[in-house]
Amino acid sequence: MAVSAELLAQRVAARLIDIMVQAVDINALLQLVDLNALVKRVDVNTPLKQMDVNAPLKQVDLNALLKQVDLNALVKQIDINELIEQVDVDAVLDRVDVNDVVARIDMERLVGQTDLGAIIARSTGGIATEALDAMRGRAVGLDRRIDRWVTRLLRRKDQGPLAPRALLGLEAQS
């Protein structure tokens, strides 16, 4: 009978403790705690090696905590321009292997997409036009010299027109 009375007392005590814990308002209880007084009671002379301040952190499941973070909301708060201003572009470019970048270029594809004919025509067309203009200018100068020599040889007093008669009419019209 003594064993059963002791067992009954243990069950009653456990039930009473459970009822009391459920009845306590934890928030109200925590408001009664004076944190400043609690901090003052901490023994600052205790070496940090003996205090395990990381013990509560070791119990935190960081992966579960990070799963609750809304990364999109965080990224929206980032000022990209301010972030880019802090980047040292020269340092980034110093790390780039230009030879490696050039080696990755598909030259055949690049040449295939380039209209080389038009580029060559433009560049050679400009050169050819300049050469033709220079030759025409020299021919006009040579023609004038020959005209002066002929005028001297034939001892003409009238030097004649500076251009063919057909072209003189066009100059007068414009």
Q: Would you give per-residue pLDDT tens digits along the chain (174 residues)?
A: 667 888 888 888 888 888 887 888 888 888 888 888 877 776 666 665 566 666 667 777 888 888 888 888 888 888 888 888 888 888 988 898 888 888 888 888 877 777 776 777 677 667 778 888 889 888 888 888 888 888 888 887 776 666 667 776 665 555
d(CA 163, CA 167): 6
Q: What is the pLDDT of residue 50?
A: 60
Provide the pLDDT for residue 5.
83
Q: What pLDDT does 55 receive? A: 67
Single pTM value for the model: 0.26
**Would you say 114 and 123 are in contact if contact means Cβ atoms under 8 Å apart?**
no
What is the reported pLDDT for 64?
86
CA distance 61 to 63: 6
What's residue 163's pLDDT? Answer: 67
Residue 115 CA to residue 172 CA, distance in Å, equals 44
- Predicted local distance difference test score (pLDDT) of residue 147: 83
Type and span of the H or E element at 165: helix 165-173
Residue 133: predicted pLDDT: 86
